[in-house]
Amino acid sequence: MKKLTPEVFGGIEFVRVCSLPENQKRRFWQSPMSKKVIMILRDKELLSDCIYYKDYCDFELSNLVSI
């Protein structure tokens, strides 16, 4: 599975959950990682489904181990 490239805003590397493929998105919201969602205000737009890129990498790794 191809890893997403992070977005960067204000020096924060993050990934939007809405950018994940459907099966990953579903697994993410059902996992304990869903508690690590952060909100980022970018150009007056509130992004409410972001996770730090490091947390995304940890999530990816845990998915590979559990498969």
Report whether pLDDT(4) > 90: no
Interatomic CA distance for residues 64 and 67, integer angstroms = 5
The number of angstroms, rounded, from the C-alpha of 61 to the middle of its chain's C-alpha atoms is 13
pLDDT exceeds cutoff 90 at 14? yes
Single pTM value for the model: 0.85
* Mean residue pLDDT across the chain: 91
13 band by pLDDT with thresholds 50, 70 and 90: very high
Confidence band (pLDDT; 50, 70, 90) for 63?
confident
Q: How far apart are CA 60 and CA 41, in angstroms?
A: 25
Exposed e or buried b per residue across 23-48, where buried means at least 16 C-beta atoms within 10 angstroms of its C-beta: ebeebbeeeebeebeeebeeeeeebe
pLDDT over 70 for what percent of the chain? 91
